[in-house]
Amino acid sequence: MDRNTFIVLVSMVLFFGMQNLNAEVITVRDDVGRIVNLDKPAQRIVTLAPHAVEMLFAAGAGDRIIGTVSYSDYPAQAKTIPRVGSYNALDVERILALQPDLVFAWDSGNKKDQIEKLIQLGLTVFINEPHSIEDVASSIERIGRLTASETIASRFNAVFLGRYRQLQETYQNRSKVRMFYQVWHDPLITINGRHLISAVMRLCGAENIFNDMSALSASVSVEAVIAAQPEIIIAGGEVDKQTQLLENWRRWKNLPAVRNAQLYLIEPGLLHRHGPRILDGAEIMCRYVEQARAARVVKDGGK
């Protein structure tokens, strides 16, 4: 090897070595406190919850999703993404075969042992669990960093947080209304004060009658609901399609919610998913809470 060739080779080694030194590792903290590192922006992403798909599209990275779970149906493009099982029954082998560089998991929805198995198998896993509306925006911001789509994520969050502040300004000083939120009717399931839906309740000036329940979501008795005397009952269900979800309450004539005709349905995808459509659900809920507030004044003499 002559002297000139040697110098060229050394220069190339130094150049690419410096490039590697200058390459910035992408680092974020997920919602259970784990540090998630990527050597480069994620290009092949598997999402293990429908809300994660919605977040990635909001952040401008929906086209990076190569696999997701059942019921991931929003936006419309999500319907064509290959499936890797359901949120609580993952096909681990299928996930591995897709060779993702990032897996977006759901802390309270996916089975803990399956998330742990994916981590043990060497996959980079971001675990998500928003408990507040600000947490939704934070999730989208971090997705923007992990996928190098910060500009789109920031634009989305500017609008999202603007809507949130407007709802705060409108409802933050209104009188409190006691609410029962029905996730499902058989068994009767609700949520506690740490759940994202409770954050929406607080935004609207409503109090969750099961705020102090220990579990994030759990079954409760009809008797416990009656004893708490909610002024409004909202169930997750499709309007005009699942009206039976509220029928059982109508026989309890002494419930304030029944007496004042404050039984409502909200499309479950808007509130049950921890994603960017949460404010669409919040706007609907706040209108219903305001109606319950007005009904209390008219029918209960302002008590």
- Taking residue 79's Cβ as centre, other Cβ atoms within 10 Å add up to 10
Percent pLDDT > 70 in the chain is 90
- Taking residue 243's Cβ as centre, other Cβ atoms within 10 Å add up to 13
- Output DSSP code: residue 233: E
Higher pLDDT, 14 or 227: 227
Task: Provide the whole-model pTM.
Answer: 0.88
Q: Which tokens hold the place of 270?
A: 């808007």
The sheet with strand 177-182 has its strands ordered as 206-208, 177-182, 232-236, 263-266
Determine the pLDDT at residue 298: 66
Higher pLDDT, 204 or 18: 204
Percent pLDDT > 90 in the chain is 85
Determine the pLDDT at residue 245: 85
β-bridge pairing 217-219 and 35-38: unpaired
Query: Between the CA of residue 255 and those of 22, 83, 191, 232, 302, what are the distances in Å?
Result: 65, 44, 20, 9, 16
Cα dihedral: 51, 55, 60, 63 (round 10): -20
Residue at 272: amino acid letter: H
Determine the pLDDT at residue 1: 54
11 Cβ neighbours under 8 A, 6+ residues apart: none
Determine the pLDDT at residue 9: 44
Mean pLDDT, the chain, rounded, equals 92
pLDDT in tens, 243-300: 788 989 999 999 999 999 999 999 999 999 999 999 999 999 999 999 999 998 666 5
Q: Is 19 a residue whose pLDDT tops 50?
A: no
Proportion of the chain in helix, strand, coil states, percent, rounded to 5: 45, 20, 35
| Residue-range domain boundaries for the chain | 3-157, 175-299
Fold held by 3-157? Rossmann fold (3.40.50)
Determine the pLDDT at residue 238: 87
pLDDT in tens, 217-238: 999 999 999 999 999 999 999 8
Determine the pLDDT at residue 300: 54
CA distance 172 to 182: 23
CATH architecture of the domain with residue range 175-299: 3-Layer(aba) Sandwich (3.40)
Same fold for the pair 3-157 and 175-299: yes
pLDDT in tens, 132-180: 999 999 999 999 999 999 999 999 999 999 999 999 999 989 999 999 9
DSSP E strands: which ranges in 100-168? 102-106, 125-128
- Closest to 181 measured CA to CA, from 97, 288, 46: 288
Q: Is 8 a residue whose pLDDT tops 90?
A: no
